[in-house]
Amino acid sequence: MEQLAKTVVFADLTGSTGLFETAGNVAATQIVTRCTQALGVHLARAGGRVIKYLGDGVLALFDDPVAAVDASARAQDVLRDLPADAGVSATLGVKTGIERGFIIEHDGDCYGDAVNVAARLSDRAQANEILIGESVYKALPAAKRQSCHSLDRLTIKGKAEPLPVWRIDWSRTAETTMTIPLEMYELHTGQRVIQRIDLERLDQRAELAPSGGSLTIGRGEAAGFKVSDPRVSRRHARIEWSGGQCVITDFSSNGTWVRFVGSPAPVSLRRDSCTLYGEGEIGLGAAPEDFTAPTVAFRVINEL
């Protein structure tokens, strides 16, 4: 059998479980089918070839990794643009995993390491996220790489070693919608853009602006914001600005959680990321209900 280098896209719907609970089996099945078929048509029109539908997901192959990323970045819009009478719930989203490598096609299916990794990345992605492997990242032009947040190395089921993984920023992937750099915005509008995150714990304070690179939180000597607690990893989490957003990524053994002011429940992170906004607190190495958990207060300033 001939092996061919292909870019593998796994696009899965999110929110479908809740849809079955609220809409019932018949209506939910019809809605999910409409959505997956629409995603398949979209991927095919973008240069992909649909291999199969997977209940609430689609598996497609692309020759061009850039086309695969661009098509995946527009997948959420495909759901939004479906006719109102299609009954698509606003809670439905898409999560996507993309990897490139040699695969074998046989009897209407495809096999290979890239297929397995793309499927696992889709499993690890959050709603409306695209996770890509190293082969895809390296195939992107420099301008496209600006839309990628490194998640460092994630443990992928079936792989002996953690793999480098990047998350695509949906709002900045397409060149036509790429965010204007702050410096250019200030130059053309004359308005001063103020962006930074302020962190505070006990008598320790720090701030990070977009030009400041990244800030590591941990108990190691190299941490920019040190938290001395045995539950905190030496390199526990990283905060950075990318695409006008402040992002925290967990690298720890015990996890990180983020509680936003006004939000009823915290966001739990296990080797993944979330965007920080407004005010709240970051918990390190313990469950949110543990009142002894070491926490860092944060305030994101993002204004003209």
pLDDT, one tens digit for every residue, the chain (304 residues): 778 999 999 999 988 877 787 778 888 888 888 889 999 999 999 999 999 998 889 999 999 999 999 999 888 888 877 765 555 655 688 999 999 999 999 888 999 999 999 999 999 888 888 999 999 999 998 878 877 888 878 777 777 788 889 988 654 444 333 334 444 445 444 555 678 999 999 999 999 998 888 999 999 988 999 999 999 999 999 999 876 778 898 989 899 999 998 877 888 888 878 888 889 999 999 988 899 999 999 999 876 4
Give bridge partners of residue 280 from the DSSP assignment: 260, 298
Cα angle value 123/264/152 (rounded, 5°):
35
**Strand pairing class (214-218; 204-208):** unpaired
Cα angle value 108/112/118 (rounded, 5°):
95
Distance CA 114, CA 135 (A): 9
Is the Cα torsion angle 272, 181, 137, 111 positive or negative in sign? positive
What is the predicted pLDDT for the residue at 60? 96
**Strand pairing class (214-218; 225-226):** parallel
Residues 6+ apart with CB under 8 A from 137: 145, 148, 164, 166
Enter the tokens of residue 88.
Answer: 């698509």
pTM: 0.59
Sort 187 into a burial class: Cβ within 10 Å, 0-12 / 13-18 / 19+. exposed
Phi-psi region of 202 (alpha: psi -120 to 50; beta: other; left: phi over 0): left
Largest CA distance in the chain: 65
Q: Do domains 4-177 and 182-303 have the same CATH topology?
A: no
Give which of 68, 67, 50 is closest to 59, Cα–Cα.
50
CA distances from 86 to 94, 125, 223, 277 (A): 17, 26, 51, 33
Distance CA 106, CA 21 (A): 37
What is the predicted pLDDT for the residue at 87? 56
What is the predicted pLDDT for the residue at 151? 81
Cα angle value 155/133/79 (rounded, 5°):
105
Superfamily of chain region 4-177? Nucleotide cyclase, GGDEF domain (3.30.70.1230)
Classify domain 182-303 by CATH architecture. Answer: Sandwich (2.60)
Domain ranges across the chain: 4-177, 182-303
Identify whether the C-beta of residue 87 lies closer than 8 Å to the C-beta of residue 69.
Answer: no
Give which of 98, 7, 79 is closest to 47, Cα–Cα.
7
CA distances from 77 to 118, 171, 243 (A): 21, 11, 20
Task: State the residue for tokens 């080797």.
Answer: 271
Size (the chain), residues: 304
Residues 6+ apart with CB under 8 A from 163: 117, 133, 134, 153, 154, 156
